């Protein structure tokens, strides 16, 4: 099938996303589920309207959407919030991330997989995709201790995943004979996190300068979009994490200026079509062909990752004496997994090349399942916690 004109493709993506979002809303499902299903229908495995070549050309939509999502999550990092809750989100993020690593690694190893293979998949299991969760929160205007903690944990999760993966890669290399255990392998992800924090903080401070001269919403919208794009570009140029950079920029902004609520309100003017396109494109990229080939290892990964995150989040909440609803419902809201995990499979290809195809197939299959069921589970948990009232 000939690839459609780019503007026609974008029009179809938006309209199909809106239509499917409305259809699933009647089934009391989150809009994001409809967007993903629209993408599946348009993608190469069903109707074939969006082929692989077109999807590659639409990668910029994913980068834009994730940048704005990260920026909006950063806006939840108010100093007053952390003064009130202390280190609770940090401890929970560490526990749920490491819980997934430990449970998945042990389960895979005990099921007969090699230790390097188990370590790499265990580390990838710690990554959580914030996009679907954030969209569910925005759609239903969820508010409460579970929502606040969830936003903080998914923001911190990226850093935990990068560090856990760096450690696992170093250990897997030494076990597989492809190299000795090197301290530099551990320092690299720590350096990436530190660089992202510094860059984001600097951009957040710099953001204040044009705000003094431009007061109109239209001008401030231009400034906001420019800085989110700038944060993404600079992070890519210097080897930092674009997600962490934009999160920290948002966090710096919300703590440095009283204008921050207006900035985040204005940013919401431009994000709905970006988020809709992002999830439709993400749905089109979900690879149905991997479902039959993942085998026992895939089943273990998909199930035990959820178990590990659930147990880890509950443990962290219990240790910090968090609100009972956090202990009960936070774990299942951490199911979604996408971009970061898929990106880590490319690194895994260099560490355990003999397992690269299997690792990528398993993670892609997990992404397909997690991205479809994750938003529905998040909605159910937030509703049961009493933090969603609008259906």
Residue 123's pLDDT band (boundaries 50, 70, 90)? confident
| Alpha helix segments (H runs only) across 180-270 | 183-211, 217-238, 242-256, 260-267
Assigned token pair, 121? 């998949």
Question: Rounded CA gap, 152 and 155, in Å?
Answer: 5
Question: Rounded CA gap, 124 and 361, in Å?
Answer: 13
Residue 58's pLDDT band (boundaries 50, 70, 90)? confident
Assigned token pair, 213? 């001269």
pLDDT of residue 11: 93
Pairwise pLDDT comparison (255 vs 73), residue with the higher score: 255
> How many structural domains are present in the chain?
1
Tell the residue number behind the tokens 């396109």, with chain if given.
Answer: 277
Q: How far is CA 363 from CA 144, 291, 367, in A?
A: 32, 11, 6
Pairwise pLDDT comparison (76 vs 386), residue with the higher score: 386
CA 300 remoteness from chain centre: 22
Assigned token pair, 349? 């290809």
Q: Are 165 and 344 in contact (CB under 8 A)?
A: yes
Tell the residue number behind the tokens 């703590």, with chain if given.
Answer: 255
Q: What percent of the chain has pLDDT over 90?
A: 14
Q: Tens digits of per-residue pLDDT, 299-343?
A: 888 899 999 999 998 999 898 888 888 888 888 888 887 666 766
Left if phi > 0, otherwise alpha if psi is -120 to 50, otherwise beta: which for 34? alpha
Q: What percent of the chain has pLDDT over 70?
A: 88
pLDDT of residue 107: 92
On whether residue 64 sits in a domain, the answer given is yes
For residue 90, give the CATH number of its domain. 1.20.1530.20
Q: Say if residue 140's pLDDT is above 80.
A: yes
Q: Say if residue 248's pLDDT is above 70.
A: yes
Residues 6+ apart with CB under 8 A from 161: 97, 123, 124, 126, 127, 128, 340, 341, 344
Left if phi > 0, otherwise alpha if psi is -120 to 50, otherwise beta: which for 256? alpha
On whether residue 35 sits in a domain, the answer given is no
Mean pLDDT, to the nearest integer, of 181-205?
Answer: 76
Q: Are 267 and 72 in contact (CB under 8 A)?
A: yes
Left if phi > 0, otherwise alpha if psi is -120 to 50, otherwise beta: which for 144? left
Tell the residue number behind the tokens 């993942």, with chain if given.
Answer: 294
pLDDT of residue 201: 92
Tell me the whole-structure pTM to 2 decimals.
0.75
On whether residue 129 sits in a domain, the answer given is yes
Q: Determine which of 67-76, 93-102, 158-167, 191-200 has the lowest per-residue pLDDT on average.
A: 158-167
Q: Say if residue 180's pLDDT is above 60.
A: no
On whether residue 40 sits in a domain, the answer given is no
Q: H or E element: which one contains 289?
A: none
Residue 390's pLDDT band (boundaries 50, 70, 90)? low
What angle separates helix 242-256 from helix 260-267, to the nearest 10 degrees? 140
Pairwise pLDDT comparison (390 vs 283), residue with the higher score: 283
User: Which of 172, 170, 99, 128 minimizes the C-alpha distance to 359?
Assistant: 172
Which residue segment(s) compose the domain that 348 sits in? 60-281+298-384
On whether residue 29 sits in a domain, the answer given is no
pLDDT of residue 14: 93
Question: Rounded CA gap, 291 and 153, in Å?
Answer: 30
On whether residue 121 sits in a domain, the answer given is yes
On whether residue 4 sits in a domain, the answer given is no
On whether residue 287 sits in a domain, the answer given is no
Mean pLDDT, to the nearest integer, of 219-234?
Answer: 92
pLDDT of residue 103: 92
pLDDT of residue 375: 84
Euclidean distance between the first and final Cα of the chain, in Å? 40
């Amino acid at each position: 099938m000939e690839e459609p004109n780019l503007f026609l493709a974008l029009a179809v993506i938006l309209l199909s996303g809106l239509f499917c979002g409305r259809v699933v809303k009647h089934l009391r499902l989150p809009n994001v589920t409809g967007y993903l299903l629209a993408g599946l229908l348009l993608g190469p495995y069903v109707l074939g309207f969006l082929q692989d070549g077109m999807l590659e050309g639409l990668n910029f939509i994913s980068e834009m959407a994730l940048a704005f999502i990260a920026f909006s999550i950063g806006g939840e990092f108010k100093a007053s919030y952390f003064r009130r809750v202390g280190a609770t989100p940090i401890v929970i993020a560490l526990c749920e991330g490491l819980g997934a690593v430990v449970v998945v690694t042990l389960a895979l190893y005990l099921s007969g997989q090699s230790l390097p293979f188990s370590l790499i998949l265990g580390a990838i299991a710690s990554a959580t995709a914030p996009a679907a969760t954030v969209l569910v929160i925005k759609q239903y205007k969820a508010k409460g201790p579970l929502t606040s903690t969830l936003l903080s944990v998914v923001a911190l999760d990226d850093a935990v995943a990068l560090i856990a993966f760096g450690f696992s890669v170093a250990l897997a290399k030494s076990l597989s004979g492809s190299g000795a255990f090197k301290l530099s392998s551990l320092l690299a992800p720590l350096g990436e996190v530190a660089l992202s924090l510094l860059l984001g903080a600097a951009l957040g401070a710099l953001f204040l300068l044009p705000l003094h001269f431009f007061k109109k919403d239209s001008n401030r919208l231009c400034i906001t979009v420019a800085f989110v794009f700038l944060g993404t570009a600079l992070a890519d140029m210097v080897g930092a994490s674009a997600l962490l950079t934009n999160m920290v920029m948002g966090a710096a902004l919300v703590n440095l200026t009283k204008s921050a609520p207006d900035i985040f309100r204005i940013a919401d003017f431009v994000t709905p079509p970006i988020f809709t396109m992002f999830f439709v494109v993400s749905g089109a990229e979900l690879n149905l062909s991997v479902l039959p080939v993942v085998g026992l290892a895939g089943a273990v990964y998909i199930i035990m990752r959820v178990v590990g995150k659930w147990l880890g989040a509950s443990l962290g909440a219990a240790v910090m004496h968090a609100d009972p609803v956090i202990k009960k419902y936070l774990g299942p809201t951490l199911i979604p997994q996408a971009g970061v995990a898929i990106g880590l499979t490319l690194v895994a290809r260099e560490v355990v090349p003999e397992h690269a195809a299997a690792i990528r197939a398993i993670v892609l299959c997990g992404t397909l399942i997690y991205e479809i069921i994750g938003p529905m589970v998040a909605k159910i948990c937030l509703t049961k916690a009493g933090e969603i009232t609008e259906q």
